[in-house]
Chain A
């Protein structure tokens, strides 16, 4: 496994708000850093500094104005900033996992199947995928009665645990975490810390945003200070 599975190089992004008369809002500039296998990097900085945007760019969810995001995928190097949609989807299926802040629910799909989906999409047998999903949900203390229900009506904390399970269930070499413990109690925060430690053991490179200081200190190996990437020009 490559030591630096993901390298970000001179990435810049701004939003052009056409509905506000074309107002340009620069977000970040000259973003450069690399992830290391088996280590967890944390994006640090105040609210609004662009932490979430950086994470989303690394997942292909946000577009990039300039720069490169090089990821090792299937033995070759792919620039996510320029890749075709089907390549981005392939990277998501096999290489980069993501724990998002909000769960987008699909009608009729049960919590168990939501968690199992990243495995079934990668070709794993449905029964095996469901077993692994069940194991993770049990570990995250999600009541078994909820497993066969669609998560649309779950509480914030319950939905977040689904997101976490869905993100951690695969063996992707890179994992992005967007505030994974925001709505959890102490017991479940500890479960997440343990899960992150296990991923590090397995050689996974992690990048996360953690609001909670205790969790941050427990898992962070490096801090990437996002204020370094603040745009030089002000909003115009």
Chain B
């Protein structure tokens, strides 16, 4: 088992977001968001619809060009690169190797008409793996890690349930050992028992692999379970940020207090 994230204060962050803003003409997506993310840290971005959290996620994961501000990433060789100064080829390569993106709807992040094994193996083939046997056994290994039976390796995701598709999407993203994974409502739309299984799986994988992750969610329970840090957004701005359990147990801002008190008790 790999050792947990090193959190010595003198360690370098992995991602630096500086004053990122995105506006659509007069309409604001998000405004002046800045933060740093360290290796192995999971940051939850919570807010209600229209808070700007998904816009922010897209801006920092190279899917949407910000109106202003910058996003910098520390590459494996230690050098800092600004995301939007890279060539498109470099950005796409980054998205396929060092980064992952888990979509809310797994069909958006999978190839529905190729087998599960091919879905998991595609990134490997994209970076030059040319040994069928190795690709297949890596795929089987990963399917096992996300609790999909190896007998399903040749089945298409079209035949999978929602929870299974989501687990397949996770395997597909993690096969190249990315250091940073973006997740957009990873448990949205799933049944409660399925959510529980998925969250536990994610928790374990994130810890085992030392992944850094940015998880957008409207569900505070998901934030509590998965994240170390939390950012609360409203109307495009970050209104509170800090240690997850601190923000949830001792909310300071009015909106955060409203959010926390609105959760229904079971």
Interface residues of A, Cβ cutoff 8 Å to B: 15-19, 56, 60-63, 74, 84-90, 93, 104, 106-109, 120-123, 125-126
Contact = CB atoms under 8 A, between A and B. Distances in A.
Contact of B250 (A63, A74, A125): A63
Nearest to B256: A18
Interface string B182-200: 0000000000000011011
Contact of A86 (B1, B41, B199): B41
Given A121-B207, A123-B4, A85 B243 contact: yes
Contacts of B1: 120, 125-126
A18 B228 contact: no
Instruction: Tell me which of B196, B207, B250 has the highest count of chain A C-beta atoms within 10 A of its own C-beta.
Output: B250
A15 B249 CA distance: 11
Contacts of A93: 4, 7
B7 A89 contact: yes
Contacts of B9: 84, 87
Interface in B65-118: none
24 contacts: A15-B250, A17-B257, A18-B253, A18-B258, A61-B246, A61-B250, A63-B252, A85-B228, A85-B242, A85-B244, A86-B228, A86-B229, A87-B7, A87-B9, A88-B243, A89-B228, A106-B200, A107-B196, A107-B199, A108-B197, A109-B200, A122-B4, A123-B4, A126-B1
B226 to A, nearest CB: 10
Greatest chain A CB density within 10 A among B9, B38, B207 is at B9
Given A86-B5, A87-B7, A107-B196, 6 more contacts: A61-B246, A62-B249, A86-B7, A104-B224, A106-B200, A126-B1
Interface residues of B, number: 32
A85 B3 CA distance: 19
Interface in B159-215: 196-197, 199-200, 203, 207
B258 A19 contact: yes
Interface of B: 1, 3-5, 7-9, 38, 41, 196-197, 199-200, 203, 207, 224-225, 228-229, 242-246, 249-250, 252-254, 257-258, 261
A69 B261 CA distance: 29
Nearest to A62: B250
Given A19-B257, A121-B4, A85 B229 contact: yes
Interface centre among A89, A90, A122, A126 (most CB of B within 10 A): A89
A51 to B, nearest CB: 16
B200 A107 contact: yes
A87 B228 CA distance: 11
Contacts of A123: 3-4
A93 B40 CA distance: 14
Nearest to B229: A85
A109 B9 CA distance: 31
Nearest to B196: A107
List the 6 closest pairs (A to B, CB-CB), nearest first. A18-B254, A107-B196, A90-B7, A85-B243, A86-B7, A108-B200
Contacts of B41: 85-86
A125 B207 CA distance: 14
Most buried by B among A17, A60, A74, A107: A107
Nearest to A17: B257
A99 B188 CA distance: 33
Nearest to B195: A107
Nearest to A104: B224
Contacts of A84: 9
